[in-house]
Structure 1
Amino acid sequence: MARYTADSKEKVRDAVDMLDLVSTRTELKKSGGSSYMGRCPFHEERSGSLSVETAKKVYHCFGCGASGDCFRFVEELEGLDFKGAMEWLAARYNVELELEDEDPAAARRRQERERLLELLERTATFYSRYLWESKEARRAREYLAERGLGEEVLRTYRVGYSPKAWDTVLMASRKAGFSNRECYDAGLAKRAQGEGRIYDAFRGRVMFPLCDRRGRVLGFGARTLSSQDGPKYLNSNDNAVFHKGQHLYGADLARSAAARAGEVILCEGYTDVLALHQAGLTNTVGQMGTALTPDQVGELSRLAPTVHMALDADEAGQNAMLKAATVARGRGVTLRVVQLPGGQDPADVVAASAQDMRDRVAASLPFVAFRVRRALDGGDLSDAEGKDAVIDELRPVFAELPPGVLREELLQTVAERLDVKPSLVSGWLAAPAPAPASAGRPGRPAPRPEPAAPAFGDPGPPAGPAGRGAPGPARGRGPVRAGLDAAVQSERAFLAAVVALPQSGTTELERLDLDVAFTSPLHRRAAQHLLAHPGEPTTGIDPEDQELAALAAELAVRAGELGASGAILEAEARKVELAMVDRLIAQSRARGTGGVADLARRRQELQAAQHRALERAMAETAKPD
């Protein structure tokens, strides 16, 4: 993959207007100097806890802990990787990016791909215009209106219509300078069997552009309006730019809402997505009619940590949710199930009542509760054998469910439905699974267990800020980060003071044994970085090191709030040293190695020095009478 030069990155950073960029997502008010405050776009809040340093082009939220520079801001809110964020910013601020030297073959492949993307974009524009301007598309407009879809949402998703003629797109593409081969490679043309002739792949169908997270058209989904015209739905074949199992329909339009809400809604069909978007549920995506793939689960996890599955209420939809949970296992997403009325899809529910659909999403079930209800609803509870079969089916579900209120509530539900005591149910579910019988009970087939699926979608280990696949409090969606312990808070305050006063701060850092003074490995790395880049905390950081980049941005913001004060720097430095000495005293006593008296004297000296520094700091900030 082609890489941009380091100089390009710095040109983009220099060009970014941080106040303009952040103001596209939240209202900012000046709080002093180049500092601004506003409500955080990464989590819901009433009071503004987002601080933005426009000169340093960094931000930090004191509520959820989201931190970063201009690139990270776009990565998180636009759902892009670093390269995509750089391209997004370059386009917004008119910066021409320069590629590093690439081999001729790679350059040719990149140029060919760019040509195909241009062709697909032109075709999507043509289809959309044809839907609204041609007489031929009247029936398509009527169908979409019958589905309750308004013009605004149809234009938002660039829905279109393909002419019935055999070569309309092909001829228009030739006229625009594209070859037959490019039309074929882009999935817009097919070759007649046994002949060399090619023709338009989509004819007389409602067209749904299929885009990547950046909104680039990669292919199309196409719905027929007549049962005489082949399959109800056709999709672009996998080709050089489109791979159906790697993308989610509407992810480009849902990503911002999903990032803010910390939740994404998953539907099956294109019109389901449009209907929910029109109902105000703009964090909705579609799985494009396929069984959920690992790549699509990865896309979901990048959109939000919680996925509400609003799949059809029929047997196929129920089984699809079980399979989705199996694929999602260990992928960092928590699955919930939106309960729909029997025989209805999400678009049907919205057509009857948009508020009802919103309420159903808000009341979605944890996936484990869905599994328990499904087993109970599908089991034969009229006799003992049927009840035992349900217990057998639920045993692996409860095996993965930790102790807690939810487990007790579900145990109570099972006990009530089976009409037995909860204590008995608890014991049966905890017992080992019986050996499989050689045959089912007389008169009925042996029960066929469902595929194993995790109780909660198995979110796996908590996400950390180490990289794109494991975002930190940032991905910022909703949860407020846990409080830092006292030692970590003290170390972070000291590092912020170092950033605020780089020259004196460097001297203070050089006095310390960083491996002993800092309890946090991240803080040790940050201290080493500040020694190498005094006064420039956000420069020289590897783009892949999101953990250090986020902390550097936070320190820059905190330093701006703090101001340059030698007394505060000294007080924070002595506080870190005091904590270090306290740890050494505790270790010496535990090991019986001696030296406690010397350490105690050093502690007294540090306490006195900290007290004097605090008095100076208070005098500096005191207002004159």
Structure 2
Amino acid sequence: MTRYTADSRDRVRGAVDMVALVSARTELRRAGVNSYFGVCPFHEERTGSFHVRPEDKYYHCFGCQAYGDPFDFMMETEGLDFKGALEALADRFGVTLETEAEDPAAASRRLRRERLHSLLGRATAYYARYLWEAREAAGAREYLRGRGLSEQTLRTFRVGYAPSAWDRVLTASRGAGFTDEELLAAGLVQRSKARPGQVYDRFRERIMFPSADARGRVLGFGARAMRENQRPKYLNTSDGELYHKGSQLFGIDLARAPAARSGRMILVEGYTDVLALHQAGLLGAVGIMGTALTEDQVRELARVVSVLELCLDADRAGQDAMLRAARVTAGSKLELRVVPLPEGSDPAELVAREGADALRARVESSVPFAAFHVERILQRTDARSAEGRDRAVAELAPVLGAVPPSVLREDLLRRVAGRLELSDATLARLMASAGPSKVGRRGPGGGPQAAAVKEVPMIDQGVRKERDFLALCVALPEPGAAALVAIDPDELLTSGVFRRAARHIAGRTASPLADLPGDDEELARVVADLVARAGRAGDVSAERLEHARLILEQARLDRAIRRARGQGGMDIAALAHERERVREAILEVGARLERAV
């Protein structure tokens, strides 16, 4: 992994214009020397309590207590890690990052990646220019206009056209100094089967949709055929050094920032669906490019948003894809919602037929995944027969059992009772008879998730950090034991079971499963889960453990400050000073971890 010098980080921080950076998310007004205020971009409020000190490169919200430097702001608003935030800010403010001394092999790998990125960037520009300038591409331009896509939208997404000739990209790239091996690695050419040793352009007579990473660097292409007898209809870059289809989300480079601001991402299937939604003003849309949602894609989405709206084709395949999405997102923080589309339509067709307002209205009326799943089961139920209703109840039991007590749950129960012509009491009795073993735990959006009943329940982000700290204590027995002795679990931790786990593990980090009380099954499950997580923690260190502890200490002080404000306490300033000291320690340890990567 590329490691940047500490000087690079300092130069990026110094180059950042905090007012310009924050103003991209919220309007700021001057309120004195080195002081700007605006509405907080991290929580809803009417009176601006978000304070920016440009000269100090610092922001702080007096409402939600969010605070940090330019790197924190980028990580929070665009879902980036520290390295991504550093690179994005360097790009935005024109700073050249310098790498630390690398071993020759690492330097060679980095330079190769940079050349492949450059090669793909050149090819993207060539395809885009060819689409708009070549007579041969007239049919492609007409097809795209027929899909209702404007030239501005197509240029924004760098859509292009690959000529019919066998060697245009090959010849131009060779002339620019790239080798055949690099062209093969980038997926732009392929080897001839008839003439071993020769290569030719992989993409010909196709509309080219470039797929980029979060920074906008093109990694590969999806290419749509323009002739009826041209197979396959869509030809993708093969998985290689840069491109991995299962990790890619088409349009993520353009959708990330608006989605991070709204907390919602819209998931569609195809390339033109993404373009149609962006053109309709729904800028937080990304595409899975006609494949099933993967765990890698879910991790990328969960870093940016908390709500995922499924806007997939209204056919059997699209509905099945939504059920698979629910299974893949099980255990993530994502809440799933479903955008209802007319039977047989995809988003791009709906925009072309009914206009952008019609699609926006449907997105605004999205429904929880549980409601979609219940309706899907009811639609295929033969409610005229007792056997059909029994089968429906058996299918619905785990779905409804996964929805916590709420107005939504009551509404779904009433809907099911009406459609199956059952009284509320009868339905409740039948649902109960399904047994707890048939009921899954709550999943995203209240959806069903296949899970063992005894699995550790889903937890929120704050409690997840407590779990991660305890897992590190087990992974590092000696430093972990010292850390557990030094803390007060009642003050540092908020979860009751994790407090019990901390007390149990303290003194036995080398054998945490020993001496578990026989009457606390929940504790036994949690400790077993911590041991399993410690076993797959990978590269751990005392620094990483200290960083995890400091994060919890910062959260403890945040709670103390909120409690003091509510009680009218006088020690808020002292607590704030201590929190600032902890924050500085977090930055210091984080910097050491970054240098160690």
In the superposition, the TM-score normalised over structure 2's length comes to 0.77
Q: 1:523-534 maps to which residues of 2 (within 5 A)?
A: 526=579, 529=582
8 Å Cα contact 1:35-1:51 kept in structure 2: yes
Q: 1:552-594: per-residue Cα shift (whole Å, max 9, x none)?
A: xxxxxxxxxxxxxxxxxxxxxxxxxxxxxxxxxxxxxxxxxxx
Per the TM alignment, residue 453 of structure 1 is displaced from its structure 2 partner at its CA by 7.4
Q: Over aligned residue pairs, what C-alpha RMSD do you find?
A: 3.0
Q: 1:160-175 maps to which residues of 2 (within 5 A)?
A: 160-175=160-175
Q: What amino acid is the match of 2:410? A: E
Per the TM alignment, residue 379 of structure 1 is displaced from its structure 2 partner at its CA by 1.3
Q: 1:196-247: per-residue Cα shift (whole Å, max 9, x none)?
A: 2111110000100000111110000111122211111111000000000012
1:303 aligns with 2:304: yes
Q: Which runs of 5 or more residues in structure 2 are unaligned?
A: 450-456, 469-557
Write the distance in 1 (CA, Å) between the matches of 2:15 and 2:171: 42
Give 1:568's aligned residue.
none
8 Å Cα contact 1:82-1:543 kept in structure 2: no
State how many pairs are aligned: 493
Per the TM alignment, residue 6 of structure 1 is displaced from its structure 2 partner at its CA by 1.9
The residue matched to 1:238 in structure 2 has which SS? coil
Q: Which runs of 5 or more residues in structure 1 are unaligned?
A: 437-448, 471-480, 500-504, 506-522, 547-625
Q: 1:529-568 maps to which residues of 2 (within 5 A)?
A: 529=582, 540=588, 542=590
Give 2:485's aligned residue.
none
Q: What amino acid is the match of 1:58? A: Y
The residue matched to 2:97 in structure 1 has which SS? coil
Give 2:527's aligned residue.
none
Write the distance in 2 (CA, Å) between the matches of 1:301 and 1:126: 34
Give 1:7's aligned residue.
7
Write the distance in 1 (CA, Å) between the matches of 2:239 and 2:259: 27
> Of 427, 432, 446, which residue of structure 2 is paired with 1:456?
446
Per the TM alignment, residue 260 of structure 1 is displaced from its structure 2 partner at its CA by 1.3
Q: What amino acid is the match of 1:392? A: A
Q: 1:30-429 maps to which residues of 2 (within 5 A)?
A: 30-194=30-194, 195-351=196-352, 352-429=354-431
Q: What amino acid is the match of 1:456? A: G
Percent same amino acid among aligned pairs? 52
Per the TM alignment, residue 332 of structure 1 is displaced from its structure 2 partner at its CA by 1.1
The residue matched to 1:32 in structure 2 has which SS? coil
Q: Return closer, same or farther for 1:485/1:96 CA change in 2, 3 Å cut-off.
A: closer
Q: What amino acid is the match of 1:175? A: G
Write the distance in 2 (CA, Å) between the matches of 1:483 and 1:253: 39
Higher relative contact order (CA 8 A, sep 6+): 1
Give 1:569's aligned residue.
none
Q: 1:89-144: per-residue Cα shift (whole Å, max 9, x none)?
A: 22333333221222211111111111001000111011111111111110000000
Write the distance in 1 (CA, Å) between the matches of 2:346 and 2:294: 21
Q: Return closer, same or farther for 1:42/1:134 CA change in 2, 3 Å cut-off.
A: farther
Q: What amino acid is the match of 1:290? A: T
Write the distance in 1 (CA, Å) between the matches of 2:106 and 2:145: 46
Write the distance in 1 (CA, Å) between the matches of 2:44 and 2:158: 30
Q: Return closer, same or farther for 1:406/1:466 CA change in 2, 3 Å cut-off.
A: closer
Q: What amino acid is the match of 2:405? A: P
Q: 1:440-463: per-residue Cα shift (whole Å, max 9, x none)?
A: xxxxxxxxx99x976625794223
Residues 77-86 or 62-71, more deviating: 62-71
Give 2:476's aligned residue.
none
Residues 382-391 or 187-196, more deviating: 187-196
The residue matched to 1:210 in structure 2 has which SS? strand
8 Å Cα contact 2:13-2:70 kept in structure 1: yes
Q: Return closer, same or farther for 1:489/1:466 CA change in 2, 3 Å cut-off.
A: farther
Write the distance in 2 (CA, Å) between the matches of 1:171 and 1:495: 68
8 Å Cα contact 1:75-1:85 kept in structure 2: yes
Q: Return closer, same or farther for 1:63/1:350 CA change in 2, 3 Å cut-off.
A: farther
The residue matched to 2:235 in structure 1 has which SS? strand
8 Å Cα contact 1:165-1:203 kept in structure 2: yes
Write the distance in 1 (CA, Å) between the matches of 2:71 and 2:137: 43
Considering only CA atoms, is the larger Rg found in Structure 1 or Structure 2? 1
Q: 1:491-538: per-residue Cα shift (whole Å, max 9, x none)?
A: 998464687xxxxx7xxxxxxxxxxxxxxxxx6xx37648xx7xxx89
Residues 482-491 or 363-372, more deviating: 482-491
Q: What amino acid is the match of 2:276? A: A
Per the TM alignment, residue 77 of structure 1 is displaced from its structure 2 partner at its CA by 2.6
The residue matched to 2:363 in structure 1 has which SS? helix
Per the TM alignment, residue 163 of structure 1 is displaced from its structure 2 partner at its CA by 0.4
Q: What amino acid is the match of 1:486? A: R
Write the distance in 2 (CA, Å) between the matches of 1:527 and 1:54: 18
Write the distance in 2 (CA, Å) between the matches of 1:541 and 1:36: 30
The residue matched to 1:37 in structure 2 has which SS? strand
Per the TM alignment, residue 325 of structure 1 is displaced from its structure 2 partner at its CA by 0.4
Q: Return closer, same or farther for 1:34/1:278 CA change in 2, 3 Å cut-off.
A: same
8 Å Cα contact 1:267-1:284 kept in structure 2: yes
8 Å Cα contact 2:333-2:444 kept in structure 1: no
In the superposition, the TM-score normalised over structure 1's length comes to 0.74
The residue matched to 1:183 in structure 2 has which SS? helix
Q: 1:394-447: per-residue Cα shift (whole Å, max 9, x none)?
A: 1111221111211111000000000110121122112235999xxxxxxxxxxx
Q: Return closer, same or farther for 1:285/1:116 CA change in 2, 3 Å cut-off.
A: same
Per the TM alignment, residue 72 of structure 1 is displaced from its structure 2 partner at its CA by 1.3
8 Å Cα contact 1:398-1:455 kept in structure 2: no
The residue matched to 2:56 in structure 1 has which SS? coil
8 Å Cα contact 2:337-2:445 kept in structure 1: no
Write the distance in 1 (CA, Å) between the matches of 2:364 and 2:560: 28
8 Å Cα contact 1:71-1:82 kept in structure 2: yes
Q: Return closer, same or farther for 1:262/1:455 CA change in 2, 3 Å cut-off.
A: closer
